[in-house]
Structure 1
């Protein structure tokens, strides 16, 4: 019935805001209870499956299919568990209970507060010393930070917030709007798999090129639309469009991360670069302490806008939703 669908659609929208409130005030659940930690333990199998880095094979189709199979099995399990939990809630609980429990289950699948706090902690560490800033940045990025200058540390931190605003919030919410808890859970699994497996060449003595190729491409596909939505949310947060965005975004090798990073560079008027790989808004100034604060502010406004628009879509599509 439409009335029942509307009632539960409102409950789903409320669940999103409950999850956002928990994220804002309580942060992440303990590691033993965190579903992303469980996903990471499963994906840790990759360190035993990936072949030694030397000698590396130029083409390794068996390893590609093994990686795809392990990913699909894990993704199917994640989707299935989330679907069972969601279905049991909707079929057996009143709308207010659905909102509460769904919000509790959704929260671990995104992490805006942790991202913001980690980025601001980089600036706080830089106020102590450059070495402290580098060590704090190493918690956010996989690149070698040992030789980064103060300017480059700030650039990397701003890039990380912009890129992960999509990966850690906008994309999980986008897939939650489309497919509920299973959609958000599958995206979080895909993004975790990309973070752990999606490398070209050697890492920790293993060659990840072919084992991680499926994981990297799956994340690219699932992040494509949300990355561009993130640009729109950042533009709304700044109340202006980042001129020249398309040209700048395509400077990065990633089909997705360059879009929110380029948007942030243009909106702040700063240069963001990865040495030897790309430079976004190359004529921009070096980022300052105020730019780090401004980055967090724009991200916070974009997160709020994401919640508002997602809620409106959930309620507006009540007549044909999965609830």
Structure 2
């Protein structure tokens, strides 16, 4: 069977991420973040319109750059190469797994303070009062949600839209992480970035949940019952599926930027323990591998 340039590029990009993780120097996402911060400084106002312009400019610019590069490559080995490099640049599955293992190591050594200091690499939750169980829950929940955000969503958009899809998705997801907060500064300005990220992750989150169920069928009952309880239209599906697959109960009180939020319980097992972090990391890697094959098959079926 002939493999298309896009499919080959996606598979090579996943292999590069597995082998090397994120590029150590000159990471394009970091460069994009600096450009986004500079544009925010010029455009910021406490209005949705300014946020819409900000989001459209940056995400549209990323998509346009991806389209120009892909068109110049124009099929064959060159297109496969640029797709592979773009996939490697935007995937975060290996880095996610590494953070999970670091957190597990700290908690296994009872180094609670180090684990609290490290949690910010995974989520924006306030860790200052979290004990071992709270840190384990936060880590498992973050691994579940970020399996979609960091790995499955880029693969879905890469399969659908190639290099423009890869770059546009990562741009939108990066902006959500930068300005997509419901606080005084970003409630209005960050609205467009947050909503766009929700839209772009709607299908990938459900793909993540479906693959998780395929890997662990017992997760289906929890996903069907609890997946829609979460305030996020996407995170709840991933977290519920992981809760069912791992046999744990997620959810509870979280503190973000000084504000306490009560999240619904997902699953009906025991609370997560330190050992569940490594289990969640392994499950995330399996789900990502299955998604990579599915994305390559989808891209190959499209003839690109």
Normalized against structure 2, the TM-score is what? 0.91
Counterpart for residue 129 of structure 2: 147
1:18-37 alignment, distance < 5 Å: 18-32=12-26, 34-37=27-30
Secondary structure at 1:141 match in 2: coil
CA–CA separation in structure 1 for the residues paired with 2:42 and 2:100: 32
Say if 2:189 is the partner of 1:211.
yes
Secondary structure at 2:276 match in 1: helix
Q: 1:307 Cα shift?
A: 1.0
Say if 2:2 is the partner of 1:12.
no
CA–CA separation in structure 1 for the residues paired with 2:224 and 2:203: 15
Q: 1:240 Cα shift?
A: 4.0
1:189-268 alignment, distance < 5 Å: 189-202=171-184, 207-268=185-246
Query: What do the CA deviations read for 1:24-74 (whole angstroms, capped 9, x no partner)?
Result: 111111342x221122112214366555xxxxxxxx6xx110110011111
CA–CA separation in structure 2 for the residues paired with 1:151 and 1:46: 38
Query: What do the CA deviations read for 1:126-180 (whole angstroms, capped 9, x no partner)?
Result: 1231111111212211111000111110011011111011111111111111111
CA–CA separation in structure 1 for the residues paired with 2:24 and 2:32: 15
Point out where structure 1 has 5 or more consecutive residues left out of the alignment.
1-5, 52-59
Number of aligned positions between the proteins: 295
Counterpart for residue 299 of structure 2: 314
Is 2:179–2:186's contact at 8 Å kept on the other side of the alignment?
Answer: yes
Is 1:156–1:274's contact at 8 Å kept on the other side of the alignment?
Answer: no
Secondary structure at 2:188 match in 1: coil
Say if 2:149 is the partner of 1:164.
no
Counterpart for residue 65 of structure 1: 49
Aligned residues: CA RMSD: 1.9
Is 2:7–2:296's contact at 8 Å kept on the other side of the alignment?
Answer: yes
Secondary structure at 2:251 match in 1: strand
1:34-49 alignment, distance < 5 Å: 34-44=27-37, 45-46=39-40
CA–CA separation in structure 2 for the residues paired with 1:101 and 1:185: 12
CA–CA separation in structure 1 for the residues paired with 2:95 and 2:181: 24
Q: 1:125 Cα shift?
A: 1.0
Moved over 4 A (4+): 47-51
Say if 2:285 is the partner of 1:291.
no
Counterpart for residue 256 of structure 2: none
Q: 1:96 Cα shift?
A: 2.9
Counterpart for residue 167 of structure 2: 185
What is the aligned counterpart of 2:74 among 67, 82, 90? 90
Normalized against structure 1, the TM-score is what? 0.86
Say if 2:262 is the partner of 1:277.
yes
Secondary structure at 1:277 match in 2: strand
Secondary structure at 1:28 match in 2: coil
Is 1:197–1:211's contact at 8 Å kept on the other side of the alignment?
Answer: yes
Point out where structure 2 has 5 or more consecutive residues left out of the alignment.
254-260
Q: 1:239 Cα shift?
A: 4.3
Q: 1:283 Cα shift?
A: 3.7
Is 2:205–2:237's contact at 8 Å kept on the other side of the alignment?
Answer: yes
